[in-house]
Amino acid sequence: AQSVTQLGSHVSVSEGALVLLRCNYSSSVPPYLFWYVQYPNQGLQLLLKYTTGATLVKGINGFEAEFKKSETSFHLTKPSAHMSDAAEYFCAVTLDRGSTLGRLYFGRGTQLTVWP
């Protein structure tokens, strides 16, 4: 069963437009949630994470995400896209937050294209 679903494998926006990348998870208990970014030919870099506390989390490069338990969602947003935001974005969850193993389950990724 897919634990993390990213809606839309490709998203295109114009420079300056709102970026919205969707992530939904399936879990009986609130997981820890992460967004990673991957630039071409590089490894993954953490953008932001939600563990506990405030449900709106801010990350690097102007990105933020809101954990909505009722919707089992953790969508990533940025008010104004920049050309440098073009990359692949991955949502990930830890389902076994009571375990020390800390396994991450990744979504299939969303490729963001930014048009000038």
Partner 1 sequence: DAGITQSPRHKVTETGTPVTLRCHQTENHRYMYWYRQDPGHGLRLIHYSYGVKDTDKGEVSDGYSVSRSKTEDFLLTLESATSSQTSVYFCAIRVGGTEFLYEQFFGPGTRLTVL
Residue 60 to residue 46: CA distance in whole angstroms: 8
Please report how close the Cβ of residue 107 comes to partner 1 at its closest, in angstroms.
5
Smallest CA-to-CA distance from 31 within 58, 85, 69, 66 is with 69
Query: Considering the rule CB under 8 A, would residue 103 count as an interface residue with partner 1?
Result: yes
Please report how close the Cβ of residue 37 comes to partner 1 at its closest, in angstroms.
11
Query: Is there a contact between 94 and 36 (Cβ–Cβ < 8 Å)?
Result: no
Amino acid of residue 1: A
Q: How many residues bind partner 1 (CB under 8 A)?
A: 26
Strands (E), 59-106: 64-68, 73-78, 87-94, 105-106
Choosing from 7, 15, 86, 106, the residue that interacts with partner 1 (CB under 8 A) is 106
Choosing from 7, 17, 86, 104, the residue that interacts with partner 1 (CB under 8 A) is 104
Chain residues in the site for partner 1 (CB under 8 A): 6, 9, 32, 34, 36, 42-46, 49, 51, 90, 92, 94, 97, 100-109
